[in-house]
Structure 1
Amino acid sequence: MERRYSIERVRNIGIMAHIDAGKTTTTERILFYTGITYKIGEVDEGTAVMDWMAQEQERGITITSASTTCFWKNYQINIIDTPGHVDFTVEVERSLRVLDGAIVILCGVGGVEAQTETVWRQADRYKVPRIVYINKMDRIGVDPEKAIEEIKETFSVRPLVIQMPLGREENFRGVIDLVEMKEVDWGDDLLGTKFEVRDISDEHKKEVQMKRNEMLERLSDVDDVLMEKYLDESEISPEEIKKAIRKGTISLQLVPILYGASFKNKGVHPLLDAITNYLPSPLDIPPVKGYHPRTFDVETRKASDEEPFSALVFKIMNDPFIGTLSFFRVYSGKTKVGSALYNSTKGEEERISRLLEIHSNKRKEIKEVHAGDIAALGSRKNLSTGDTLCMRNHPIVLEPIKFPEPVVSALIEPKSRTEHSKLAEALEKLTKEDPTFKVIQDSMTGQTLVCGMGELHLEVLMDRMAREFGVLANLRKPQVAYKETITNSSEGEGRYIRQTGGRGQYGHCKIMIEPLKRGKGFEFVDRIKAGRIPKEFVPSIKKGIKEAIEIGILAGFPVTDVKATVVDGSYHEVDSTSIAFKIAGSLAFKDAASRANPVLLEPVMSLVVISPDKYLGDIVGDIKSRRGRIEEMELRGGSRVIKIFVPLAEMFGYATDIRTITQGRGVFSMEFFRHEQLPTPVMEEIIARIEGRISVQR
């Protein structure tokens, strides 16, 4: 099957923004104007094509990335619409890994917002060229100049204004194209399908010429040919300008700025033109790099159908009708239904039974895919996000996708005891779909913990379990896995003697225990003098001590960072047994530990908070109330980076709290640092609560 369009006419783009900037609304207009839909879907009405999940339609937000393909002026545009909420940042991360370009949508009133900064940094990490679309130009209080200045200051980039707004707020009618030197006026047309393209009116000519000269001056910095013409005051054609804009955009030297009001159906047609004119095709991207799975030599693949096949799986999704869908981006070569592919990540062969072109929640069967395509494989259960598909005789492993670690966790349990297996099956499928969703079986508490990117993330997954898998579950606050240790050295004695008429039981040992450095765990030393205890009974003493360690001293938590040395004891030639010495070892440890000043240890997390500087005081005050300590602070651009150590027990609900404190502009990451001794008052409270003497919600 031949390509519909040559590869230089393919655009793989993502649409990204802060929540409520108009991302899905803009995508819905793109689908309408390119003929994919016959009616404009609306987010507020729950009819948006790209927000097809029930939760998305109910909440009015994008939760999962949705892909589609549309066509504009003999170009094929593969679009991925991504979520704007920080809890679903995984969808942006995996999309950017396989895209060639991006549209960043800003609200003309809000400008650069918290998630704008996050998605911009993600795009920087993957070196994705982008254009900015300043939306909601019809809103009261719109300030595009402020938004452009924020782009410049926040991201240290060079915005290139290629349009001027034709009016603003309720008078916004369209845009002035500085490249073609034309006014594009939608007037009062409600659907946006009719618009007038006319010459620049006299009232705008002076300002337009000034703005055009500013644009040409900036373009001269990235294009020598254009610079020469500009300095000579020679005529520069629109095609020459477009070529220079494209060059500056793809090289990440410039970020073109466009305007619109998507909800009012104004500005989307020029945006589509900008996608095809300025964003890269697969040919404009450097050859993809990987390594040979056996020799580890560097391998490269060019974006060509003639190259050996290579593709990256970037998303797994469960479909109620098809089964498992594996979304992939083809970087080189071509393949068709019935062919065999090699999963070089896992060393397994995959036979292609179904190839699908995806349009939101609809699927279209196709026979073949080519370099630059985005498609899905049907019913391949062994594939995972980040797997490389290639040819067995030309193997390559592409760089996998890196995902952030979860920052919140909660205890989960089925509402019905009979649904444990259904819960486990649902959790397994959800973790396969979402690499930022983790499930941990806590061997110490016997609980199942679910970990995610925020409370909304976990809430949505709970809702999905009920709707898609029929599993009702409760989320509860997890128990912190404390540990116990000793702070002094001490000696203890254990004696176990039983006489029941026949052969008795006799075991006797003396031990010394001493604290170890944090993280050392448990050490055992045998210093028994010859003849005091037979060697075959020493392992039993060690086993008894280890069992006592697991039970704990103070509150039932395992003991760590302790060294136990057996120094003496006695035995009976007839009655001594391994069981007797195991019990004696356990008793000796309990005896020694009771005099070694035992304490509780709590997990302490390393926390990094990034926030605008004006919220510093509130952040520090909140951290101190959580028993946290500030280790380091630095200014990075216009943001304050704060490095903190804080107990895990104090961090539940922090994802919500930090957003409240910083009005949604603060982000954080958290990972385990080490166990540290609890303050005595807090330790006593925890022990009392466990023993049932008090009931406290911390």
Structure 2
Amino acid sequence: MGDKTSTHPGAAGRAATVDHPSSVRNVVLVGHSGSGKTTLVEALALASGAVNRAGRVEDGGCLSDYDEIEHRQQRSVQLSLVPVEWDGIKINLLDTPGYADFVGELRAGLRAADAALFVVSAADGVDGATRMVWDECAAVGMPRAIVVTHLEAARADFDGMTETCRTAFGGEDPDAVLPLYLPLYGEAGADGHRPVHGLIGLLSQRVYDYSGGGRKERDPESGELPLIEEARNRLIEGIIAESEDESLMDRYLGGEDIDIKTLIGDLETAVARGSFHPVLAAAPAADGSKEGLGTIELLELITGGFPTPAERETPAVTTPDGKPRPALTCDPAGPLAAEVVKTSSDPYVGRLSLVRVFSGTLHPDETVHVSGHGLADRGHEDHDVDERIGALSAPFGKQQRTVTKVVAGDLACVAKLSRAETGDTLSAKDAPLLMAPWDMPDPLLPVAIQAHSKADEDKLSQGLARLVAEDPTMRLEQNPHTHQVVLWCLGEAHMDVALERLRARYGVQVDAVPHKVSLRETFGAKAAGRGRHVKQSGGHGQYAICEIEVEPLPGGSGIEFVDKVVGGAVPRQFIPSVEKGVRAQAARGVAAGYPLVDIRVTLLDGKAHSVDSSDAAFQTAGALALREAAADAAIHLLEPVAEVTVLVPDDYVGPVMSDLSGRRGRVVGTEQSGAGRTLVRAEVPEIEIGRYAVDLRSLSHGTGRFHRSYARHEPMPPQLATKIRAEREKPENGG
């Protein structure tokens, strides 16, 4: 690992054939937007021989940014798989978006991977969101390494960035985060910046020089070794501290020169089990050569230090109806258990499912059972069906390269799974299984949409269904109260991509319209009303009179109807008609057109005609009576109030509480939630938190998380109610 001789790259342009999990490494790249993840993937593909010097696959097409939306927005918006081969090992590189709106793609990558490369920019540092992902990986024991990029930037500082990483990621043991190499700097330019043109291996004390195009190994010059002595000693002590050989530290402190093979073996063991996190530097080749700075060293780390899939625990499984099943192992001969980690649509192939096989072996054209996945509240139906899969392929840019099988531990794309969605489990049809799902963030930014034209309206339903099937972080709602179609997204960028996909992939043009919250109306005090519906102008007439009393009830009571008619003033058969008319009018509203709730309506008296009274007449009279009562009463607008919990680092508690108060919120309590983080509980009107997903991210620099749930409806402040009534009346008045 970094102290070995260079290995021969895998054959370019072929989909690697894998027969055993030991020949696979699944690595997810994590880092903030602009840290250089995609550039690093391309550099590794070039160094391994998977692409040519122009950065293109052998049969044409770009390796990255091949998606139309990504190309247009100039940023990654989806998880992409790039398989490369090094030293006989297939490396599945899972490139994830760095922007917070696409955290669902990141979580899918974490699920599919067995180790993580955290990519940080030497010029920009480590953001709070990256620290949070590091903590998530630490919680499940995922092995991690750190790659420092952008060393060519004028303000780049590898040593300073290493110390930043030790502080941010090391926790109580900063010596678990140490560099394996130190940069070798060239002469300073006119601007004072010293370019990095090589690396010095701390263990091997060898220089890997990239200055002449490609990688050349040489002995250090006399002035170079003293530069690494302190860092080398610290690295050796850090490795020995993680060694399973407890005598090693005593021998080292006693002056014994520990064999380099022993150190490398202990280093690889510590990395694989997630207790030591090496720091490396990498940069793409700037001179047209194949080997970018640090790419060979990084490939050696991945193949030598990162674990095989067989060394990682397999997710728990049950039967589809929830009965426990024995734990699975990563065995190609075991029962089939695979998971759809990403769903996409290809204009030529159709739906493609990126699948991670955890147990067994997947073959093309076999029938599998599809189970999953508990996201019905987001518009994703549960599945429990058999499906025949199509071809299996390894993706590479726009190309799909056919493979003959996918063994436990490997990833591939499956064609023609028309029912399976992201998060679903694929298993043997005669022994169906269901994997425990991974956590997905709640979409909390609503965007109401409507079809742009009649032609779009005809295609909207199918387009939305396909869109939501691809993205489990999106929720589709058809609100029965506001009659709006609402897409719940993770942020504005997520929303933009969703609407663009509707247009570009599914040919559906939609317009975003203001999102409405479900307002209500209620009576502020007791009132009375008389409904008179009398029409006698020849022929069969209509006759119904009723008198009612309306009084407010506590919130959540709904509508009560009470009959207190005496003496048969309203015949028995027409009393349900009055109630039906009252309830129909209440649903339409009596002031601003919002449903009327939390009232008791008492029928006191009325009149009927032996010939002209009817069910329809008394329904109309009941509605008129309620409207008359409302005309002489104070009608309050009720707004929904949400229970909001906000989890933020302690540094942001004050600003968050102040912001919530400014949204008419009531902070009801705070509590500690782990080291350095606080949970703030509040009650906030929903009309004030429509964009809170965006605003909290800005307020907390991407480190805040919140959850909302409906609590109740409460009276709206009079001045706001007056404003909303006025806006409601504008269309009617020609405004």
Q: Structure 2 length as normaliser, TM-score?
A: 0.85
Secondary structure of 1:349 counterpart? strand
Partner of 2:180: 163
Partner of 1:287: 314
In structure 1, C-alpha distance between the alignment counterparts of 2:404 and 2:437, rounded to whole Å: 27
* One-letter amino acid of the structure 2 residue matched with residue 16 of structure 1: V
Q: Offset of 1:125 from its aligned partner?
A: 5.9
Bigger shift: residues 638-647 or 252-261: 638-647
CA gap 1:572/1:370 in 2 versus in 1, 3 angstroms = same
| Correspondence 1:633-672 to 2 at 5 A | 633=670, 637=675, 642-661=680-699, 668-672=706-710
CA gap 1:94/1:562 in 2 versus in 1, 3 angstroms = farther
CA gap 1:12/1:294 in 2 versus in 1, 3 angstroms = same
Q: Offset of 1:333 from its aligned partner?
A: 0.7
Bigger shift: residues 168-177 or 95-104: 168-177
- Deviation by residue 1:246-298 (Cα, 9 ceiling, x = unmatched): 43334333322222234652112111111112222111112331112246123
Secondary structure of 1:404 counterpart? coil
In structure 2, C-alpha distance between the alignment counterparts of 1:99 and 1:534, rounded to whole Å: 73
Partner of 1:314: 341
* One-letter amino acid of the structure 1 residue matched with residue 27 of structure 2: I
Partner of 1:243: 265
2:323 alignment partner, one of 271, 296, 312: 296
| Correspondence 1:324-473 to 2 at 5 A | 324-345=351-372, 346-473=383-510
- Confirm whether residue 556 of structure 1 aligns to residue 593 of structure 2: yes
Partner of 1:185: 209
- Contiguous gaps of at least 5 residues in structure 2: 1-14, 186-192, 287-291, 373-382
In structure 1, C-alpha distance between the alignment counterparts of 2:55 and 2:655, rounded to whole Å: 41
Q: Offset of 1:375 from its aligned partner?
A: 1.1
Are the aligned partners of 1:688 and 1:694 in contact in 2 as well (CA < 8 Å)? no
- Deviation by residue 1:296-322 (Cα, 9 ceiling, x = unmatched): 123321100111111111111110001
In structure 2, C-alpha distance between the alignment counterparts of 1:177 and 1:641, rounded to whole Å: 45
* One-letter amino acid of the structure 2 residue matched with residue 68 of structure 1: V
Bigger shift: residues 476-485 or 58-67: 476-485
Partner of 1:259: 281
- Confirm whether residue 57 of structure 1 aligns to residue 71 of structure 2: yes
Are the aligned partners of 2:649 and 2:703 in contact in 1 as well (CA < 8 Å)? yes
1:216 alignment partner, one of 236, 256, 260: 236
- Confirm whether residue 505 of structure 1 aligns to residue 542 of structure 2: yes
- Confirm whether residue 275 of structure 1 aligns to residue 302 of structure 2: yes
* One-letter amino acid of the structure 1 residue matched with residue 178 of structure 2: V
Q: Offset of 1:467 from its aligned partner?
A: 2.6
Are the aligned partners of 2:62 and 2:398 in contact in 1 as well (CA < 8 Å)? no
Partner of 1:72: 86
In structure 1, C-alpha distance between the alignment counterparts of 2:627 and 2:135, rounded to whole Å: 54
CA gap 1:245/1:584 in 2 versus in 1, 3 angstroms = farther
- Deviation by residue 1:614-665 (Cα, 9 ceiling, x = unmatched): 6666555554444344444567655665444433333455555455555556
- Confirm whether residue 87 of structure 1 aligns to residue 108 of structure 2: no
Partner of 2:578: 541
Secondary structure of 1:232 counterpart? helix
- Confirm whether residue 231 of structure 1 aligns to residue 258 of structure 2: no
In structure 1, C-alpha distance between the alignment counterparts of 2:543 and 2:531, rounded to whole Å: 11
In structure 1, C-alpha distance between the alignment counterparts of 2:353 and 2:50, rounded to whole Å: 23
- Confirm whether residue 675 of structure 1 aligns to residue 717 of structure 2: no
Q: Offset of 1:200 from its aligned partner?
A: 4.6
In structure 2, C-alpha distance between the alignment counterparts of 1:235 and 1:297, rounded to whole Å: 52
CA gap 1:418/1:343 in 2 versus in 1, 3 angstroms = closer
- Deviation by residue 1:96-116 (Cα, 9 ceiling, x = unmatched): 122211111011122211442
In structure 2, C-alpha distance between the alignment counterparts of 1:97 and 1:387, rounded to whole Å: 13
Secondary structure of 1:357 counterpart? strand
Bigger shift: residues 596-605 or 553-562: 596-605
Q: Structure 1 length as normaliser, TM-score?
A: 0.90
Bigger shift: residues 340-349 or 662-671: 662-671
- Cα RMSD for the two superposed structures: 3.1
Are the aligned partners of 2:482 and 2:517 in contact in 1 as well (CA < 8 Å)? no
Aligned length: 688
Are the aligned partners of 2:162 and 2:179 in contact in 1 as well (CA < 8 Å)? no
Are the aligned partners of 2:100 and 2:702 in contact in 1 as well (CA < 8 Å)? no
Are the aligned partners of 2:165 and 2:177 in contact in 1 as well (CA < 8 Å)? no
Bigger shift: residues 548-557 or 531-540: 531-540
- Contiguous gaps of at least 5 residues in structure 1: none
Are the aligned partners of 1:164 and 1:175 in contact in 2 as well (CA < 8 Å)? yes
Partner of 2:724: 686
In structure 2, C-alpha distance between the alignment counterparts of 1:298 and 1:530, rounded to whole Å: 69
In structure 2, C-alpha distance between the alignment counterparts of 1:2 and 1:419, rounded to whole Å: 43
In structure 2, C-alpha distance between the alignment counterparts of 1:521 and 1:121, rounded to whole Å: 46
Are the aligned partners of 1:29 and 1:40 in contact in 2 as well (CA < 8 Å)? no
| Correspondence 1:612-623 to 2 at 5 A | 622-623=659-660
Secondary structure of 1:213 counterpart? helix
Are the aligned partners of 1:484 and 1:559 in contact in 2 as well (CA < 8 Å)? yes
Are the aligned partners of 1:527 and 1:565 in contact in 2 as well (CA < 8 Å)? yes
CA gap 1:257/1:328 in 2 versus in 1, 3 angstroms = same
Percent identity between matched residues is: 28
In structure 1, C-alpha distance between the alignment counterparts of 2:369 and 2:582, rounded to whole Å: 51
Partner of 1:12: 26
Are the aligned partners of 1:112 and 1:150 in contact in 2 as well (CA < 8 Å)? yes
Are the aligned partners of 1:511 and 1:588 in contact in 2 as well (CA < 8 Å)? yes
In structure 2, C-alpha distance between the alignment counterparts of 1:125 and 1:360, rounded to whole Å: 33
* One-letter amino acid of the structure 2 residue matched with residue 435 of structure 1: P
In structure 2, C-alpha distance between the alignment counterparts of 1:221 and 1:527, rounded to whole Å: 85
Secondary structure of 2:505 counterpart? helix
Q: Offset of 1:582 from its aligned partner?
A: 1.5
Are the aligned partners of 2:132 and 2:703 in contact in 1 as well (CA < 8 Å)? no
In structure 2, C-alpha distance between the alignment counterparts of 1:15 and 1:598, rounded to whole Å: 57
In structure 2, C-alpha distance between the alignment counterparts of 1:2 and 1:474, rounded to whole Å: 45
Bigger shift: residues 565-574 or 29-38: 565-574
Secondary structure of 2:327 counterpart? strand
Partner of 1:25: 39
CA gap 1:128/1:491 in 2 versus in 1, 3 angstroms = farther
Partner of 1:104: 118
* One-letter amino acid of the structure 2 residue matched with residue 464 of structure 1: R
- Deviation by residue 1:572-604 (Cα, 9 ceiling, x = unmatched): 444332212222222232233445532112233
In structure 2, C-alpha distance between the alignment counterparts of 1:232 and 1:262, rounded to whole Å: 40
Are the aligned partners of 1:26 and 1:263 in contact in 2 as well (CA < 8 Å)? no
In structure 1, C-alpha distance between the alignment counterparts of 2:124 and 2:41, rounded to whole Å: 20
Bigger shift: residues 128-137 or 66-75: 128-137
- Deviation by residue 1:520-556 (Cα, 9 ceiling, x = unmatched): 4333344555745444333322211211111112211
In structure 2, C-alpha distance between the alignment counterparts of 1:426 and 1:128, rounded to whole Å: 37
1:481 alignment partner, one of 515, 518, 532: 518
1:203 alignment partner, one of 198, 220, 223: 223
Are the aligned partners of 2:332 and 2:359 in contact in 1 as well (CA < 8 Å)? yes
- Deviation by residue 1:409-438 (Cα, 9 ceiling, x = unmatched): 223233333321123332222111112233
